[in-house]
Amino acid sequence: MTSSDTLVRPNVARDTYDVLIRELRPVVRDPFSLIFSLLQPLVFLGLFAPLLIGGSGQSASETLQWFVPGVLVMIVLFGTGATGSNLQYEMMTGSHERTLVAPLSRSSLLIGRALKEIAPIVLQAVIIVLIAWPFGFIAHVGGLLIGLALLAVFGVGLGSLSYTLALATKQHEWLFWGVQQALIFPLLILSGMLLPLDSGPGWMRAVASVNPVNWVVQAERALFSGDFSQSAVLWGWVSAIAVAVVGLLVGVRAMRRSS
């Protein structure tokens, strides 16, 4: 722990707020970047969902009830998983070094950035729900609100881990993207986000059972259906909170050691 971090510790909350506002300003100034980042989930929703509807034999409404929650988790996975690239760009341009010598808590530099991920996650999730609604998707209001909170917590954890990866790889952009891609697609496939894993091989189901993304997906499906009694809801929250705690702990530690 640096001496400067100790001196500003009483103002960690204020510093975190300042960093959060700083990180949100580009989003407010350029909201179209949020819309553009929805291209990938919209492609899956528009092209993959019809294939599921045709292959499952279920109605469009039933299929969307299963598929849309997975798309929302996909937004979090791809969006926050890549957000560390912004910090890496700051390191390459020297902006990060100037931030480190500012009278701010090192902890707040990570926590503020991580909390910034909540705004785009919630906004994009609401847009996807509104788009799917005319096609038969129905979300329980209470479950929707709890589901958005779950996505936010999970996104803070993933965002923190992405920033940690950026700090670890420093200016080696190719290494950041190599590790990110090597992790994100197995997590996606082994979450049952796009296709059910019930008929998959035993090893795949075993890995999925310890995949936190899988539990968050299952929890979102239960919440959006209004089934709060499912054990998947509990395990989804446990997984999201665990990812958030681990992400913030390792992220803050990496930021404090950053130079």
pLDDT tens-place string over residues 220-239: 999 999 999 999 999 999 99
150, pLDDT greater than 50: yes
**Are 238 and 222 spatial neighbours (Cβ–Cβ below 8 Å)?**
no
Band of residue 2 on the pLDDT scale cut at 50, 70, 90: very low
Band of residue 215 on the pLDDT scale cut at 50, 70, 90: very high
Q: Could you tell me which of 143, 142, 151 has the C-alpha nearest to residue 122?
A: 151
Average of per-residue pLDDT across 243-255: 94
106, pLDDT greater than 60: yes
- Taken as a whole, the chain contains a residue count of 259
Average of per-residue pLDDT across 108-134: 90
110, pLDDT greater than 50: yes
**Are 122 and 151 spatial neighbours (Cβ–Cβ below 8 Å)?**
yes
Q: How many Cα atoms within 13 Å fall on the side-chain side of residue 91?
A: 20
Amino acid residing at 124: Q
Residue 259's pLDDT is 65
Q: How far apart are CA 78 and CA 71, in angstroms?
A: 10
247, pLDDT greater than 90: yes
Q: How far apart are CA 164 and CA 32, in angstroms?
A: 27
9, pLDDT greater than 70: no
